[in-house]
Amino acid sequence: MKALLDTHAFLWAISDDARLSRRAQKTFTGPNELLLSVASLWEMLIKVKTGKLVLPEPSGPYLVKKLGENRIEVLPIKLDHVLRIETLPVHHRDPFDRILVAQSLEEKLPLITADLVFERYPVELIW
């Protein structure tokens, strides 16, 4: 199976956080093709810089290392993803979440997330 990780799901999975659901953990450790949006990487680095997220320094190389160790591919933001945002209902305004929804829909990928706001969109969720 191919699936897109929400930012928190990635962080919880790489740190063995107990908040990661059993189903999400199985998906993360199983023989699946996992993707992380470049938007999630962008979000994490912004949060590190503003002090809202603490990662080992330097954060960039740490994240790249964790992507490699866990066989996670980076999903770039494509024009089709951005254009899809216009058709999404405005259930919330978080631009990082909205691009993840658009990517999930455009790429036909289930989204691994605990965030209940995603239930308002027509995306397949894994949690």
Q: What is the pTM of this model?
A: 0.94
Segments forming the whole domain that contains residue 48: 2-126
pLDDT tens, position by position, 7-39: 999 999 999 999 999 999 999 999 999 999 999
CA dist., res. 5 & res. 24, Å (int): 9
Residues 6+ apart with CB under 8 A from 71: 34
Cβ-defined contacts of 64-69 (< 8 Å, 24+): 66/14, 67/36, 69/14
pLDDT in tens, 41-92: 999 999 999 999 999 879 999 999 999 999 999 999 999 999 999 999 988 8
Angle subtended at Cα 48 by Cα 116 and Cα 26, rounded to the nearest 5 degrees = 45
The CATH code of the domain that includes 40 is 3.40.50.1010
Which pLDDT score, from 0 to 100, does residue 83 have? Answer: 98
Backbone dihedral angles phi then psi of residue 126, each to the nearest 5 degrees = -120, 120
pLDDT tens digits for range 106-119:
999 999 999 999 99
Predicted local confidence at residue 91, as pLDDT: 86
Are 125 and 105 contacting, i.e. CB atoms less than 8 angstroms apart? no
Instruction: Tally the domains of the chain.
Output: 1
Helices 38-50, 95-107: axis angle to 10 degrees equals 170
pLDDT at 26: 94
As given in the structure block, the two tokens for residue 101 are 């929804």
